[in-house]
Amino acid sequence: MSTTPATTPDLDDPRTDPFDVARAAAAHIAEVTGVPGHDVALVLGSGWGGAAELVGDVVAELPTHEIPGFAKASVVGHASTTRSIRVERPDGSTRHALVIGGRTHLYEGRGVRRVVHGVRTAAATGCESVVLTNGCGGLHMAWRPGQPVLLRDHLNLTATSPLEGATFVDLTDLYSPRLRELARSVDPELPEGVYAQFPGPHYETPAEVKMAGILGADLVGMSTTLEAIAARHAGMEVLGVSLVTNLAAGISPQPLSHEEVLEAGQAAGPRISDLLANIVKAL
């Protein structure tokens, strides 16, 4: 039986403060998991789902759609379970990671508030940092499918923002230099790049990919930037990691497909899951 509070404010109502819904979601997670607070959050995109099992011991899990403000995942390959995981750090201390399954994408038409509700909920549970992952198209032939790439910056090409009203937030160092350096201590060969988010759900045209490259992008995809902005606004440090699942349109002579994305993610799963687990343990 669901324990979702019947009095949770409607996230879609413009009169509702979205942070009230995030606090209600955090209270629900604390009640169901028995964990009063979490330290780090993970949002796992295409190909990254296997990392949760390697991060630590699962304390509790619950269907994401039963948490206030969340809906069932609508994209194949995206988990719909949220987990509380106890992480044993190298120094012997213990922390708790919140792994949020069931990411909402902008192209689903549920509104920007739904897209960023996960990271706002994570902040409300006490998380001081968040790791945002995704599967994406690469603009460099040297980055073959299966290559993880740290995000150093992004281009938000969605023509929208998760911030409402006169809310001004500095994004100069949005993708934390400290966390990127920590990730490189786990894997010194991790490259860095700029991620461009398009609204989707259609893949980018070769001309759009070329435009993104001229603007400075190294990677293209359909998630992450809005969540990163909301996470910074909520006071969290952000680490972004992309998995190149395919060469972007016009870079590769092959047509693009979601099946290709899933297959590349599955092939790279063991390596990137181990990488992410070690990064989280070091955070």
**How far is 227 from 231, CA to CA, in rounded Å?**
6
Token output for 9: 């404010």
Please say whether the beta carbons of 35 and 83 come within 8 A: no
| Three-point CA angle 28, 49, 266, nearest 5° | 165
**How far is 128 from 205, CA to CA, in rounded Å?**
37
Q: By C-alpha distance, which of 275, 273, 252 is closest to 137?
A: 252
Q: By C-alpha distance, which of 241, 202, 237, 239 is closest to 219?
A: 241
**How far is 79 from 49, CA to CA, in rounded Å?**
7
Three-state DSSP at 108 gives: helix
Token output for 63: 């269907």
Q: Specify the residue for token string 């909301």.
A: 230
| First-last CA distance in the chain | 35
**How far is 78 from 46, CA to CA, in rounded Å?**
7
Candidate list 128, 204, 208, 263, residue with the active-site label = 204
Please say whether the beta carbons of 156 and 221 come within 8 A: no
* Residue 235 burial (10 A CB sphere; 0-12, 13-18, 19+): exposed
> Does residue 66 carry a catalytic annotation?
no
Q: Which helix (DSSP H) or strand (DSSP E) does residue 28 occupy? A: helix 18-33
Give the residue numbers marked as catalytic.
Answer: 204
